[in-house]
Structure 1
Amino acid sequence: MGFKLEPTLKSETIGKSEKKGLEKLLKSEINLFGTFFNNKRKEEFYSEIALLLKAGIHLREALELLKTNQNKENLQQFYSQMLDELEAGQSLSEILRIRKEFSEYEQYSVQIGEESGNLVRIVHELATFFVQKNEQRRNLVNALTYPLIILCTAILVVVFMLRMVVPMFEDIFRQNGVELPTITQWIISISNFIKNYGLFILLISALLIILRKTILKIGKLQTKWDYFVLKTPYVGNFIRSVYLAQFTQAMALLTASKVPMLYSIQMVKRMINFSPLQNTLKTMETKMMQGTNLHESFNGNNIFDNKMVSLIKVAEETNQTEFIFEKLNQQYVLEVQQRSKLLATIMEPLIIVIIGIFVGVILVSMYLPMFKLSAVLGG
């Protein structure tokens, strides 16, 4: 069965109604770091829709139930608009298409489900996709939270020593005219730098964190940053596994829906926001348009390993593409879980050792002049 795949029409999201009064202000959400309909809400949306449709409830009734269960006014308006469009005769895929909160991958997947009569399965697979995507994010956050707490605490300790302890020793050495070793002079220079520019650096760092997405959009900074992360020891392999898990799951869903392989590659390329993978898929797309087989198009890049290429070749020969992508997805999901645990295990002692070295250098640099000071006082 063939499917008509048309370019996605982009339109601006329907504006939120003006909020008045303190009660509405308290109900409103502040979204500094992305859309209000994030991956967590997409997981809930697709999971609940799949459950209700499987139970035999009509799509309109399902959306009505979702709207009723929302506490946030913007979400209630969001579902109200979807209901109005559904009653106007639009399909679910058409409703998703006019909203920038949903990706082209989601829109086409739902369209294919509607045309093939497999909407319940497609929506369930989309729910599974976002469950795994959110789980991967949680694994990464869990892996980094404790090491980052240790890192921040250790940095505060080092800054406190440089800002408070080092100046005390500096005053003592200056009053007694002690000649300072080179390492002590360096530490005192760093202390003076933090004293003069510490607040400025803190403000700039906070501003960079808040505006990081906007800054990365300038020129090709996002692409350069993605490639830098990919080349980082161990972390690069971890990030690569995360995106390969997303890629294989998306391909498994699309191949199960009988989407042509070339269109599947094009949709996944637009869906996954990771420059090395996008560029690789773009190269694959060009090769396939020139008549290259799928497994041959996987060759010649640093994203896909030989294991994947070999399995894809077997899948083509046996017509088991969907099965192979599902198995690959399971392997990469397991690999992400294992690497996230190992990442936390490695980072914690590594951070302690590095910060310990910094603290040790500061202490040594302060105690070295003490020997000369004792000689001066003894004389």
Structure 2
Amino acid sequence: MEKKRISSIMSKEIDFGTLADLFRGLGLPDVSWLYRIGFGIERRQEFYKDLASILRSGIRLEEGLKEVKASKSVPDYIVRILLDRIRRGRPFSKAMEGLVPGMERMVLQAGERGESEAGVEESLLILADTVGSMKKGQAAVIKSVAYPFSLFLGVIGFVVFYARTVIPKFIAGHMLDPSKLHGNAFLMFEVFDLVKNYWLPGLFLMFGGIGGLIFSMPYDFPGRKWLDRFPPWSIYRLWVGTQFLFSMSALMRAGVPVLQSLNILIKYSNPWLTKRVRVIKTGVARGAGLSKAMEKTGYHFPDDRIISRLRIRENHADVSEALREFSRDWQERGDNLISSQTKILNVVLILVVAGLLTLAGIGPYAFEVSSGQTMTGF
């Protein structure tokens, strides 16, 4: 009976709302990150689409949320929190605080204020479109990085296994004396012995370095502008640049003016993006067009080609639609660039694997040759 109960609990979807309540009870001040984990990009897209469809049929927001809850398309705790906040008098956009990124709330707020002609329903559809495009970009990045990373982990596992298991057994089985090895055999033994004795601290150091590299992505620091030309920072620049274009397009399509859209992005962006958007905002505030302000930053952000195209379209078309078009075009181009850049990493890793396999193949032979030369007096 107990086994059945445990199996039933494990089979259920994790209730991040309950976890958040538990952590809040333990005294943690901010648990909104737990809400957002359970309300990821795919769930948000479905939520925006379903709720927009319900509201367009004339149903009130509160009743619409109840229908969404009954459909189980989003976690129960999300709708529970929204209904509770709305009943307390909060606007829908304010009720979403802590559950979705700030930019998405601002698009909803624009619809509530009547800045978008079709109101909240249109804002929801804009968000569904924007979030869906961001999901594609996110999937492209993960897909491109997953293979080289798994290959890298395989290489590390192979080296550790070989150094800790194969080499010691080979030396013991052939009764070789490591102190009598010389030349290449001695160097190989020293390398494998180093891995054997210090593999755990080495792994901590290596993964600490990878963690530090990932942690550095959202920050701006001396030399970052130069690093943005090389992977993995260039991949990050492409990804965030696409998100910037989609976000600007969504805000402007919802009726938010350019300057206010930039202010919203500054408020809700990480330090790396904030620095670039703030410089663009300064140019716009001084009377420059969006393309001219982007060009004057000197960051080539999001991309020189997009800036040139925006300059042409700025005086002859709707800027928000132009940004939407550019963001889609650049996403496709960015996916190809990301793939080509990760291929470089793949080639490097494959060469490393080939080198290690060669080393593993000639290592035992080198040990035997060196030991044989020592015994025969050569």
Indicate the TM-score class for this superposition, using the shorter chain for normalisation: 0.7 to 0.9
In the alignment, residue 90 of structure 1 is paired with which amino acid?
R
Query: Which of 220, 241, 244 is the equivalent residue of 1:244?
Result: 241
User: What secondary structure does 2:180 align onto?
Assistant: coil
In the alignment, residue 124 of structure 1 is paired with which amino acid?
L
1:46 corresponds in structure 2 to 48
- Cα shift at 1:319: 4.8
2:349 corresponds in structure 1 to 351
2:299 corresponds in structure 1 to 301
Query: Which of 234, 242, 254 is the equivalent residue of 1:257?
Result: 254
- Cα shift at 1:154: 2.7
- Cα shift at 1:57: 3.0
Q: Which deviates further from its counterpart, 230-239 or 253-262?
A: 230-239
Q: Which deviates further from its counterpart, 291-300 or 223-232?
A: 223-232
User: What secondary structure does 2:315 align onto?
Assistant: helix
Aligned 8 A contact 2:263 2:281 in 1 = yes
Aligned 8 A contact 2:46 2:73 in 1 = no
User: What secondary structure does 2:366 align onto?
Assistant: helix
User: What secondary structure does 1:90 align onto?
Assistant: coil
Deviations along 1:300-358, one digit per CA (max 9) or x if unpaired, are: 21323332222222233225312321221121121133234445555444322221112
Q: What TM-score, normalized to structure 2?
A: 0.77
Cα separation, 2, equivalents of 1:328 and 1:221: 23
- Cα shift at 1:226: 11
1:62 corresponds in structure 2 to 64
Give ranges in structure 1 of 5+ residues lacking alignment. 1-20
Cα separation, 2, equivalents of 1:151 and 1:59: 50
Change (3 A) 1:120 1:146: same
2:28 corresponds in structure 1 to none
Alignment identity in percent? Answer: 18
Change (3 A) 1:138 1:225: farther
- Cα shift at 1:192: 2.9
Q: What TM-score, normalized to structure 1?
A: 0.77
Higher RCO, 1 vs 2 (CA within 8 Å, ≥6 residues apart): 1
Deviations along 1:250-278, one digit per CA (max 9) or x if unpaired, are: 111222233221111121233443x4332
1:127 corresponds in structure 2 to 128
Cα separation, 2, equivalents of 1:284 and 1:246: 16
Change (3 A) 1:207 1:59: farther
In the alignment, residue 127 of structure 2 is paired with which amino acid?
L
- Cα shift at 1:243: 1.7
In the alignment, residue 289 of structure 1 is paired with which amino acid?
A
Cα separation, 1, equivalents of 2:267 and 2:207: 31
Cα separation, 2, equivalents of 1:110 and 1:271: 15
Cα separation, 2, equivalents of 1:336 and 1:316: 23
Change (3 A) 1:297 1:242: same
- Cα shift at 1:174: 5.0
In the alignment, residue 239 of structure 1 is paired with which amino acid?
Y
Change (3 A) 1:301 1:39: same
Cα separation, 1, equivalents of 2:358 and 2:237: 36
Query: Which of 255, 265, 290 is the equivalent residue of 2:286?
Result: 290
Aligned 8 A contact 1:230 1:239 in 2 = no
1:268 corresponds in structure 2 to 265
Deviations along 1:40-64, one digit per CA (max 9) or x if unpaired, are: 3322221221222234332112210
Cα separation, 1, equivalents of 2:55 and 2:267: 28
Cα separation, 2, equivalents of 1:362 and 1:178: 20
Aligned 8 A contact 2:294 2:300 in 1 = no
Change (3 A) 1:192 1:228: farther
Aligned 8 A contact 2:145 2:342 in 1 = yes
2:112 corresponds in structure 1 to 114
Query: Which of 82, 101, 104 is the equivalent residue of 1:103?
Result: 101
Aligned 8 A contact 1:46 1:124 in 2 = yes
Change (3 A) 1:160 1:69: same
Give ranges in structure 2 of 5+ residues lacking alignment. 21-30
Aligned 8 A contact 2:126 2:254 in 1 = no
